[in-house]
Structure 1
Amino acid sequence: MTDQAIENQLREILKVQGKVAVAAAAIGPDDDLYGLGLSSLATVNVMLEIEARFDIAFPDDALTRATFQTLGGLAALVRRQLGAAAAA
């Protein structure tokens, strides 16, 4: 899966599950997702949808506000977890 495909899916998840206040296509890799309206409760829904969509699990040490702060951070985590799953 390409980096762009991962980011596009994450944008869709953030729009639907995260209820961010901008169009999905307008979410930049370094935008503060909490500043765009992501709440703590919505973060849980975003995490669950990411796990289901990409068939990955969030490691315990990634369950921090910083992980969910930006699209770029989420994309990096998804790429790491997909790589770990492929190597297993």
Structure 2
Amino acid sequence: MDGVEVTRRPVSDTLREVLVRHLRRVPADVDWTTVTLPDLGLDSMVAIELVLDLEDTFGAQFPEDALVRETFETFQSLEAVVKWMVDGS
């Protein structure tokens, strides 16, 4: 890259963008700290598409043991898994 430093966007910002692409009911003023993802339109079919998109976006495999309802309940629970997925910790 000839000395150009690439800055990595925070996982949370990228995750929000991916979620908005998949969820049907995301108001512009959504409070990600209080809303549940099912309230925004996440169902089992959307979750499958979301996992595939997350794997493509972050270039890492979604942990099989995290494929449970609790992971997809809130932004924070999903973010924790994605951060682990990306950072490996």
TM-score band by shorter chain is 0.7 to 0.9
- 1:59 corresponds in structure 2 to 63
The verdict on how the C-alpha distance between 1:55 and 1:47 changes in structure 2, with shifts beyond 3 A counting, is same
Is the aligned partner of 1:33 residue 2:61? no
Per the normalisation by structure 1, the TM-score is 0.78
Deviation at 1:24, TM superposition (A): 6.0
- RMSD between aligned alpha carbons? 2.0
1:19-58 superposed Cα distances (whole Å, 9 cap, x missing partner): 2302366241342100121121011111111111011111
Is the aligned partner of 1:7 residue 2:21? no
- Structure 1, gaps ≥5 residues long: none
The verdict on how the C-alpha distance between 1:20 and 1:8 changes in structure 2, with shifts beyond 3 A counting, is farther
* Runs of 4+ that moved beyond 3 A: none
1:11-22 to structure 2, matched below 5 A, reads 11-17=16-22, 19-22=23-26
The verdict on how the C-alpha distance between 1:73 and 1:66 changes in structure 2, with shifts beyond 3 A counting, is same
1:10 aligned partner, one-letter code: L
Q: Distance in 2 between matches of 1:45 and 1:32?
A: 18
Q: Which has the larger radius of gyration?
A: 2
- Structure 2, gaps ≥5 residues long: 1-7
The verdict on how the C-alpha distance between 1:30 and 1:55 changes in structure 2, with shifts beyond 3 A counting, is farther
Secondary structure in 1 aligned to 2:37? Answer: coil
